[in-house]
Structure 1
């Protein structure tokens, strides 16, 4: 028995599929759309400075001025900030194995992070804004100790491979 609806759907599908496959603008649009969706995700993963390893209480990544609730495994990028609430703690490990931990009511900004040892490009600038933090240097400090700077509102410190605790009073 002939079903008009089924036959019409088959013809319409064939016509539409053939029209889309032979239309160069459509194919170019599909390729462009694929790159637009995939490229930013790949770029973010490639340029990540590190990852969040520990979160407790209220802790946030501040990205482009907007707080994002922090989660273990989340990427941290150059220019991101880390902020904790009164009950918060957060720990981050950067690609060079530098470790930074923040206690409650604390904030630090990753002003600069460059880790390309094969190219000789190394650098780390952390700006401690307020609160308590612990810092353990990674490979950048071993390979290029003069390329690390820790900033507080009162001082700028060059680091040559060490671990330290910092407390910054709010201004």
Structure 2
């Protein structure tokens, strides 16, 4: 494997965001009530009920959620739905946690689609398809991959990855 010094800042930003999100997720819940989430922009209502498949846990820099024809700035606590596209700008990154406990950390200058996500919290079964159009992505898998790893796939324009591990990084530079 060849090390490219020009990609080091991107990997370091992604790694630091992942480590921060992982540390945040492992902290015990505070006894104080959490502040109410910021209201969603009129163009992009927040998902309710089963539509919300995940939540933004960390957002750094310019991060946009594209839902259908609507674009909105990502904010901590905002929901993520199936078919949402997450777009990060230069020196930007986002971390989100899905219903099954999967953590996705999207690096700078990246485009990621949550193409498919289904999870039954009672049976703990489901499936997931993440498409990395460009950039970098770190994934720490949750319950779906633990029970049925063949149900978790990551695609890029040139590759399809069947998940067998629990924590990995993917990069695509078309």
Structure 1 and Structure 2 fold alike (TM over 0.5): yes
Q: Shift of the alpha carbon at 1:42?
A: 9.6
Unpaired stretches in structure 2, ≥5 consecutive residues? 1-44
Q: Which has the larger radius of gyration?
A: 1
Residue matched to 1:70: 74
Q: Shift of the alpha carbon at 1:43?
A: 6.7
1:92 to 96, 101, 115: 96
Q: Is the Cα contact below 8 Å between 2:124 and 2:143 reproduced in 1?
A: no
User: SS of the counterpart of 2:157?
Assistant: coil
Total equivalences in the alignment: 130
**Aligned equivalents of 1:65, 1:86: Cα separation in 2:** 23
Residue matched to 1:51: 55
Moved more, 45-54 or 122-131: 45-54
Unpaired stretches in structure 1, ≥5 consecutive residues? 1-40
Query: CA separation of 1:70/1:147 partners in 2, compared to 1, >3 Å: closer, same or farther?
Result: same
**Runs of 4+ with deviation above 2 angstroms:** 41-47, 117-121
RMSD: 1.8
Q: Deviations over 1:35-86 (max 9, x none)?
A: xxxxxx8972322110000001000111114321000000000110111011
Q: Is the Cα contact below 8 Å between 2:132 and 2:156 reproduced in 1?
A: yes
1:111 to 109, 112, 115: 115
Q: Shift of the alpha carbon at 1:112?
A: 0.4
User: SS of the counterpart of 2:109?
Assistant: coil
Structure with more contact order per residue of length (Cα contacts < 8 Å, sep ≥ 6): 2
User: SS of the counterpart of 1:79?
Assistant: coil
Q: Deviations over 1:78-134 (max 9, x none)?
A: 110111011211000000010111111101100000001535751000000001111
Larger helix share, 1 or 2:
1
Residue matched to 1:155: 159
TM-score (norm 2): 0.69
User: Are residues 1:129 and 2:116 paired?
Assistant: no
